[in-house]
Amino acid sequence: MPSVGKSVARKDGWAKVTGAARYVDDLRFPGLLHARTVRATIPCGEVAGVRVDAPGCVVVDHRDIPGRNVIAMIEADQPCLVEREVRHVAEPIVLLAHADRETLARARVEVEYRKREPLLDPRLSRQAFKEITIEKGRLAEGFARADLVVEGEYSTGAQEQLYLETNGVIAVPEDGGVTVYGSLQCPFYVKKSLEAVLGPGRRARVVQLETGGGFGGKEDYPSILACHAALLALKSGRPVKLVLDRAEDMLATTKRHPSIVRHRTGVTRDGRLTAVEVEVLMDAGAYVTLSPVVLSRGTIHATGPYRCDHVRVHGRAVMTNTPPNGAFRGFGAPQTQFAAEVHMDRIAEALGLDPVRLREINALRPGDRTATGQVLGRDASALLALREAVRRSDFHRKRKAYPSQGKGIGLALFFHGSGFTGGGETYLASRASLELTEKGARILVGSTEIGQGTRTMHAQIVADALGWPVERVTSATPDTALVPDSGPTVASRTCMVVGKLLERAALEMKARLGRLSPRAYLRRHGPLVVTKQYEPPAGLEWSDQTYRGDAYGAYGWGCDVVELEVDPATLETRLLKTTAVCDVGKAIHPVMVAGQIEGGTAQALGFGLLEEVVMRDGRMANAQLTNYMIPTSLDTPPLEAVILESPYPHGPSGAKGVGEMPMDGPAAAAANALRHLGFDVRSVPATPERLLACPRLPAPGAKSKARPPRATSARGRRRVS
Amino acid sequence: MKFTLNGRRVEVEAHPLARLLDVLREECGLTGTKEGCGEGECGACTVLLDGRPVNACLVPFAHAEGARVSTVEGLKDRRLRAAFVDEGGAQCGFCTPGMLMAAAALPKGFDEQGLKRGLAGNLCRCTGYTAIYRAVEKSRARRAPARPKVRRAAPKRPARRRSA
């Protein structure tokens, strides 16, 4: 019986509901030392001197690094430990370890600094880590055809991933090298970093443990922790545990990039976009880390899911003296699509047009070309998602009825590329293996289970390809000594890309088995491992130089509707209902797909309304759960997740990505609902304090009667900002 | 100090001001109870003390003397556990032990607001709580409720739409 499309029992379910699942802090090793990191307390300057008073402790600084003092990511600009220059608060300087936590806490390390003036405003930064321009058609021509030009600036704040389990690793000296066990998304990223820091001749092995959430926050940061724990383990010859407490995790680790996005859009009076110009600025923080690729996804998604012949998107990710910002579910696209979707509502307003109608006119359709010139396939279902969301939420009726009831309703349409951007997947050349076992098959991939359901979903794909029940398929622990590099567990790629590799491996295994049972095959022919490597689907082209071509193999499409009210006295927003429609190609496991949509939507509503990272002198001032608020059960509205399936021919059973997409729409839909209530929200999170300062729009009743703009020549066109 | 742990009488040596959380995890070897924040905000360390949910990171061990302490390892409610697995109530699983204990402490006959309030001290970053509500309601209902939120309009081709 096929299991794809059925919500089979989660492979890791029972261990997680009995307390048996083992996370990093649950592991014990004989002779274990606990570790502590001494971090910079200034955002910019130099270390003038370090005085260590730590009796009995193992002490490590940059001089103890046998290899290179870098965290090897895209660029090698970030040191593993500060030598002299400090570029951000919480930058690691000295590492300590001791078997007794209280002795460790008593150790004193005093650092003297020569302070310099920090650069904290990204607008003032002259150092761009990455700059991207996307051009299509001729912008001037597009503006010449416009009846109206609408301009606006939109901004989003930093957001903390707030996985419930903080970052943590254990490093164990082993065979002249180090094995790192940890809570992480990308074991092979960690391995690469360890190899650079440990130097040639020292073996680095990385094992992923049960991981209590990641959301991008365990994409690159675990590399730093792993190197630190490994250095202590190497020096002491003992296992070292380095688990961050919540405050340190919030202070030191990556956040979503704050963004400032400017739009200038030409539109005809009947609502067709003639020119789209977007300027994207992202605050990268102190080091390059993942910012170039975050910016890349951000700029490609910056137009929103709309057709326009004349487009220019220009993006910069700039250096500031704050801790590096990094990956967070959506990876730049939630920021730029927030701007695009609030801007669309403002265009509709300026035209006196219904916001749904404006989107219907301009939504990308199969056969249309995106800003990078990619021709969309038959699975481009923006219109379908829009109409489904409008129908399910009864949008039109509520849009008319709500103003008199003190409620607001708003929507946002969005898309999200599955897999690495551009030539990324070809460059990664991911591999996935399938091993025949006595009872069935064992999956060998570097993809990690971080709550999203990797193990179960992969097993379903393999089981169906082999024609077996899903119980006969198991997964190996992601251990770099055991599994091939399937690429990182990021970018909504684990199902569409790695799942497809496994499907191909399983089909080959089935052909090799013929009519033999696994046991009989193993007895007759010996062990069987089938490995498949990624090959781009025919016709996929991309240029990193011109930013033209097929930016992604496929896109997911979605639409959110948010209904809310605002307390007139406190300006607190109360969410009434959210409808989230996502087209995922094929839902391999509907309950888990719904879980991704529901969870991502809640996280995105937090991004839009609640979660504010307050930075003071380059330091997060609210690095605790008491005043960094994520949605609780009382803040989260009833969520209706709707799954659409427009299959992608090169995904397993037609599946595309789902992990990131639900993050793209809710913040804009919430802002547009607040707009419906008269708040001119252009910046999130829209906290009560921000709403108090927010300009008010004319009453909604009056707004709906706004006259459409006069027919004017291009020269005499109106401008709205 | 003597107390009842998951139905068994035990005697454990630890500092009276040690956090109950650390005593459970380190002295008793029950690592199912998790630390998420250490300041009583996230609820990942929720255990039952004489039947009432508490944050074990805020409770000094002295409070456990003579009391009944229940952790996820001792949870008897198999229906609740199974519903969490089937309905997607557990994703990353880190909030799950605390969430299960908070759910187990809900009074009989709760309504929607009662359910939300009862779980408001337990943060979950994966599920948006929806699947957790489904799981708790399913475990308490006589008949298993339908999965109301997962509806699918599954077009074979983008142009057409079919509701199932």
CB of A630 within 8 Å of a chain B CB? The answer is yes
CB of B97 within 8 Å of a chain A CB? The answer is yes
Q: Which residues of A touch B6 (CB under 8 A)?
A: none
Taking the C-alpha atoms of residue A695 and residue A457, their distance in angstroms, rounded to an integer, is 47
* Amino acid letter, A354: D
CB of A636 within 8 Å of a chain B CB? The answer is yes
Tokens found for residue A616: 């003071």
Tokens found for residue A562: 């948010």
CB contact under 8 A, A20 and B32: yes
Low-confidence ranges of chain A (pLDDT < 50): 701-714
Taking the C-alpha atoms of residue A113 and residue A239, their distance in angstroms, rounded to an integer, is 32
* Amino acid letter, A570: T
CA angle (A637 as vertex; B92, A702 as ends), nearest 5: 140
How far off is chain B from A368, nearest CA to CA, in Å? 14
Q: Which residues of B touch A631 (CB under 8 A)?
A: 128
How far off is chain A from B20, nearest CA to CA, in Å? 16
3-state secondary structure of A265: strand
Q: Which of B86, B128, B161 sits opposite A639 (nearest CB)?
A: B128
Q: Which of A379, A452, A642 sits opposite B91 (nearest CB)?
A: A452
Please tell me the predicted confidence (pLDDT) of residue A705. 41
Taking the C-alpha atoms of residue A337 and residue A328, their distance in angstroms, rounded to an integer, is 15
Determine phi and psi for A708, rounding to 5 degrees: -65, 155
Give the strands of the sheet with A108-115, arranged side by side. Answer: A85-86, A45-53, A108-115
Q: Which of A9, A379, A643 sits opposite B150 (nearest CB)?
A: A643
CA atoms within 13 A on the CB side of B92: 30
Please tell me the predicted confidence (pLDDT) of residue A711. 42
3-state secondary structure of A150: strand
Taking CA atoms, what residue in A is nearest to B43? A164
How far off is chain A from B127, nearest CA to CA, in Å? 4
Q: Which residues of B touch A559 (CB under 8 A)?
A: none
CB of A12 within 8 Å of a chain B CB? The answer is yes
Using alpha carbons, list the distances in angstroms from residue A675 to A694, B10, B47.
Answer: 10, 60, 43
CB contact under 8 A, B86 and A636: no
Give the closest residue to A184 by CA, choosing from A229, A218, A230: A218
Q: What is the DSSP letter of A375?
A: B
Taking the C-alpha atoms of residue A94 and residue A108, their distance in angstroms, rounded to an integer, is 11
Taking CA atoms, what residue in A is nearest to B86? A9
**Do the bridges between strand A259-267 and strand A148-156 make them parallel or antiparallel, or are there none, so unpaired?**
antiparallel
Taking CA atoms, what residue in A is nearest to B34? A165
Q: What is the DSSP letter of A547?
A: T
Please tell me the predicted confidence (pLDDT) of residue B145. 56
- Burial pattern A352-391, b for ≥16 Cβ within 10 A else e, equals ebebbebbbbbbbebebbbbbbbebbebbbbbbbbbbbbe
CB contact under 8 A, A165 and B92: yes
How far off is chain A from B25, nearest CA to CA, in Å? 8
CA atoms within 13 A on the CB side of A517: 5
Determine phi and psi for A555, rounding to 5 degrees: -120, 145
Taking the C-alpha atoms of residue A574 and residue A567, their distance in angstroms, rounded to an integer, is 7
Question: Please, which residues 48-67 of chain B have a Cβ atom closer than 8 Å to chain A?
Answer: none
* Amino acid letter, A27: L
* Helical ranges in A48-167 per DSSP H: 101-106, 139-144
What pTM does this model have?
Answer: 0.96
Give pLDDT tens digits for A221-261: 999 999 999 999 999 999 999 999 999 999 999 999 999 99
Please tell me the predicted confidence (pLDDT) of residue B144. 59
Q: Residues with Cβ < 8 Å from A476, sequence gap 6 or more?
A: A435, A442, A443, A444, A445, A482, A483
Question: Please, which residues 174-213 of chain A have a Cβ atom closer than 8 Å to chain B?
Answer: 210-213
Give the closest residue to A13 by CA, choosing from B118, B24, B84: B84
Q: Which residues of A touch B88 (CB under 8 A)?
A: 7, 10, 591-592, 594-595
Tokens found for residue A383: 């219109």
A574 neighbors A631 (Cβ within 8 angstroms): no
Taking the C-alpha atoms of residue B92 and residue A21, their distance in angstroms, rounded to an integer, is 10
Please tell me the predicted confidence (pLDDT) of residue A72. 85
**Do the bridges between strand B46-49 and strand B8-11 make them parallel or antiparallel, or are there none, so unpaired?**
unpaired
CB of A13 within 8 Å of a chain B CB? The answer is yes
Taking the C-alpha atoms of residue A35 and residue A105, their distance in angstroms, rounded to an integer, is 10
A437 neighbors A469 (Cβ within 8 angstroms): no
A656 neighbors A555 (Cβ within 8 angstroms): yes
Low-confidence ranges of chain B (pLDDT < 70): 142-164
Length of chain B (residues): 164
Q: Which residues of B touch A606 (CB under 8 A)?
A: none
Tokens found for residue A535: 């090959």
Tokens found for residue A566: 């605002």
CB of B33 within 8 Å of a chain A CB? The answer is yes
Please tell me the predicted confidence (pLDDT) of residue A716. 55
Length of chain A (residues): 721
3-state secondary structure of A194: helix
Residue that the structure tokens 């929103």 belong to = A304
3-state per-residue secondary structure call for A481-517: CCCCCCCCCCCCCHHHHHHHHHHHHHHHHHHHHCCCC
Please tell me the predicted confidence (pLDDT) of residue B146. 55
A162 neighbors A8 (Cβ within 8 angstroms): no
CB contact under 8 A, A25 and B123: no
CB of B124 within 8 Å of a chain A CB? The answer is yes
3-state secondary structure of B33: coil
- Positions of E strands within A176-258: 177-182, 204-208, 240-243
CB contact under 8 A, A599 and B41: no
CB of B3 within 8 Å of a chain A CB? The answer is no
Tokens found for residue A555: 């896109």
**Do the bridges between strand A177-182 and strand A168-174 make them parallel or antiparallel, or are there none, so unpaired?**
antiparallel
Q: Residues with Cβ < 8 Å from A378, sequence gap 6 or more?
A: A366, A646, B157, B158
CB contact under 8 A, A246 and B117: no
